[in-house]
Amino acid sequence: MAKRRILVVDDEVGFTKLLKLNLEKDGQYEVRIENDGVKAVDSAREFQPDLILLDIIMPEKDGGEVLADLQREPSLKNVRVLFLTATVSIKGVEQRDGTIRGMPFVGKPVEPKRLVKRIEEILNS
Amino acid sequence: MKSAKQRPGATKINVLLVEDNAVEAELTKVLLAGNSLCQFTARVAPTLAAALEAVRTGPVDVVVLDLGLPDSFGLATFDQLQAAAPELPVIIYTGLGDAEVAVEAVQRGAQDCLTKGQADGDLLARAIRHAVERQRIELALERERDLFRALMENIPDSIYFKDLKSRFLRSSRSQTEMFGFKNPEDIVGKTDFDMFKEDHARRAFEDEQEIIRTGKPLVGKVEKETLADGRLRWALTTKMPFRDKQWRIIGTFGISKNLTELKLMEETLENERNLLRSLIDALPDHIYVKDADCRFVLCNQAVSRFFKLGSPEEVHGKSDFDFLPRRLAQQFHEEEQALLRGETPSVHRETEFGEQDGRTHWVITTKVLLRDGHGRIIGLVGINRDITERKQVEEQLHQINLELARSQKETLVANAELKAAQTRLIQAEKLESIGRLAAGVAHEVKNPLATLLMGLDYLAEKFRESGEDVAITIAEMEEAIKRADDIIHGLQDFSASPQLDTEETNLNSVIEQSLLLTYHELRHKRIHVIKHFAPDLPKLPLDRRRIEQVFINVFTNAIMAMPVDGELCLVALAQQEADGRVKVTVRVEDNGPGVPAEILPRVFDPFFSTKPTSMGQGLGLALARNILDLHGGKIEMSNRPEGGACVTLTLYA
């Protein structure tokens, strides 16, 4: 079975490196990192991921804007997106039915096992 | 004045013979004694000095005087005697050669003159008798003249005599001077036309001619006269026909009394009376006079109008009972009788004056005693002033004051509410800035935490086989990251949006729901819950979800402090505040160890906790206080006297 391609868009350089290590260590996923929100759509067009883990608060261009641009791009408009964000509280998640702008999300910090579980749920849905 | 009043013939005439020749004297005495007409008593004085002495001592009715005496001679003798006794009649009785001197003496007042030797007894006696009689008549006449003169010279009334053509014959001095003349003689022959203006002069003339024609007097006529110089004069005049001895009318005479001052006084009085009348009639106040029986004597126009009378005169003899309701009339009557008895003065008394024109009239009355010239009480004078307008204004003022007091109270309540709202607003602003801070901090802290967790998990995989110590280390680190994450979450909840989502809520159901949500903790420690909820609790404007959070936090806090099998007592009651708001109090009483006094003031501070770190972040009660603050309520903690802590929550309907 081919590796799933995951694009991580997050300005936290250290976090993205460790996330990539964790996700690739079992050989399930091919992970590409994009630390600049402005370049996210270009990277996605080029990489053609199965899933994008998208941070929300980023300098220059935030996650909401990136999502809007992705949805305008024909080759990417059906790409799956999982928001990965430090901005929401536990209660905030409950109040939002687990979605932000129609997309699922996971709050930071998150245990890798839980994250993988969510990724698998989304990819298999 | 001795001899003149004796009637000749009836009594003896005392004759003093002044004669130095004793023979002549004796001869004369013989002559007198021998007369047939009347009796004489004759004394002889041989010198003037003796004669003067005899006259002084009397009685002497007549002197028969020889001018040639040893101590005096000629006319000087007569003059001296007359000076000593001016009213005594003197007959000059002298020799032939003295005829001229004798005539001179008669001119100077001697009654007669006889020549010695030519007179017999009868002639001498007749001469003496005539002398005495003539002197008496002259004196009487002079007396009458004196009386008349006194009258005409001194009486201030005008007295006058006029002839048939109304020309002045005589005029009293007062009248003369009134006409502007000096001597009464100056106006003799003049008429009223010279003294008065034409119209009065004509009237007077006609009156007088009427009297002359008819003989009827004009008595006590009051006349208004204008003098020639324009002076006005009032007079009371009486005019009579002036008759002679034959009773023929020869003119008129009259007396005229000056009434000018009296008339002027009368006019002044009349003017004052009119002035007073106009004044009291012009006044809007009721003014009236009553007699001792409280019957009206007079009143002014204002009273007349109020009683609907045709004129003020109609009030005379009537009383308040004729005009006012019986109760009011009776009240006035009693007041006035008390005043008349001198018991109570009645000054500035406010009285309800009955209905008129559909509204209640109010008057302020002042009544004072009326006394006659001798100080006796004869009635009263009253003044009523209508103060209905003032009373109405006072009433309006009273209403406005009440209104003012009411709106003042409303303002106070509004102020209290405003202040509470302001406090909530400040609280909300505070929370909002804390919220922004918390959100920023959360984001900045969570990212490194995420990196740490990611790294730790990776390391855990790598060193899975490296032994128990590594596994424990990694587990502790993971636990620490989780705790830090919990704190960040708590902070985010604590500073959640200050916007409340309130609706009228039954507090009991909120408490029940909160108990349900802490069911596991309660059950775990087998806590017994006792509830005393007042049945009449009003619905409160609450953010239900947040108040639930408050109770959950308070219950959780209490349960943690309580021993197993503890007792949690919940009391809820309502009570009306002084400002009208309804206050609802809920007490949550536990039977734990209570709270040390020194930390009681800090239990609601954020991150303050006495519990082990693993059991809470110290934000539960701080959050509860924030939520209560946002509701305008209060939360307090105290120690119960019987042991345990009590949290008291206060909310307002």
Q: pLDDT tens digits, residue range B340-363?
A: 888 777 777 788 877 766 777 888
Find the Cα–Cα–Cα–Cα dihedral B385, B388, B389, B395, rounded to 10°. Answer: 130
Same domain assignment for residues B28 and B102 = yes
Q: Which chain B residue has the Cα nearest residue A112?
A: B454
For residue A119, the model assigns a pLDDT of 92
Same domain assignment for residues B53 and B97 = yes
DSSP B389: H
Q: Which chain A residue has the Cα nearest residue B441?
A: A87
Same domain assignment for residues B508 and B571 = yes
Same domain assignment for residues B518 and B408 = no
Does pTM surpass 0.90?
no
DSSP A48: -
Same domain assignment for residues B76 and B182 = no
On the question of a cis peptide bond just before residue B59, with omega within 30 degrees of 0, the verdict is yes
Q: Which chain B residues have a beta carbon less than 8 Å from that of A109?
A: 446, 449-450, 452-454, 481, 485
Same domain assignment for residues B33 and B125 = yes
In a domain, B35, yes or no: yes
Query: Contacts by B166-172 with C-beta closer than 8 Å and gap 24+?
Result: B166/B191, B166/B192, B166/B204, B166/B205, B166/B208, B166/B209, B166/B251, B166/B252, B167/B191, B169/B251
Same domain assignment for residues B547 and B609 = yes
B107 near B20, Cβ under 8 Å?
no
In a domain, B138, yes or no: yes
How far does the CA of residue A112 sit from the closest CA of chain B (Å)?
Answer: 6
In chain A, which residues touch B (CB < 8 A)? 12, 14-15, 18-19, 21-22, 25, 57, 86-87, 89-92, 107-113
For residue B399, the model assigns a pLDDT of 92
In a domain, B271, yes or no: no
Same domain assignment for residues B122 and B170 = no
**Considering B494, B527, B547, which residue would you say is the last residue of a domain?**
B494
**Considering B150, B168, B187, which residue would you say is the last residue of a domain?**
B150
Tens of pLDDT along B138-162?
888 989 999 999 999 999 999 999 9
What is the overall mean pLDDT for chain A?
85
Look at B454 and A22 and tell me if their CB atoms are within 8 Å. Answer: yes
Same domain assignment for residues B524 and B544 = yes
Same domain assignment for residues B560 and B599 = yes
Same domain assignment for residues B398 and B371 = no
How far does the CA of residue B446 sit from the closest CA of chain A (Å)?
Answer: 6
**Considering B264, B294, B309, which residue would you say is the last residue of a domain?**
B264
The values of phi and psi at residue B647, to 5°, are -105, 125
* Cα→Cα distances A109→A28, A86, A115, B448, Å: 22, 7, 10, 8
Number of domains in chain B: 5
- CATH code assigned to A4-123: 3.40.50.2300
Tens of pLDDT along B87-102?
888 888 877 667 777 7
Same domain assignment for residues B366 and B298 = yes
In a domain, B2, yes or no: no
The values of phi and psi at residue B136, to 5°, are -60, -45
Q: What are the structure tokens assigned to A54, written together?
A: 């998208």
Query: Contacts by B111-119 with C-beta closer than 8 Å and gap 24+?
Result: B111/B62, B111/B135, B116/B24, B116/B66, B119/B31
Tens of pLDDT along B469-507?
888 888 888 888 888 887 787 777 766 666 778 889 899
Coil, strand or helix at B21: coil
pLDDT at B9 over 50: no
pLDDT at B207 over 90: yes
Q: How far apart are CA B419 and CA B408, in angstroms?
A: 16
**Domain range for residue B54?**
13-150
**Residue B451 near chain A (CB below 8 Å):** yes
A38 near A58, Cβ under 8 Å?
no
What is the overall mean pLDDT for chain B?
85
**Among B443, B445, B447, B461, the residue to mutate for chain A (most A Cβ within 10 A):** B447
Q: Where are the domains of chain A?
A: 4-123
pLDDT at A91 over 60: no
What is the predicted ipTM?
A: 0.79
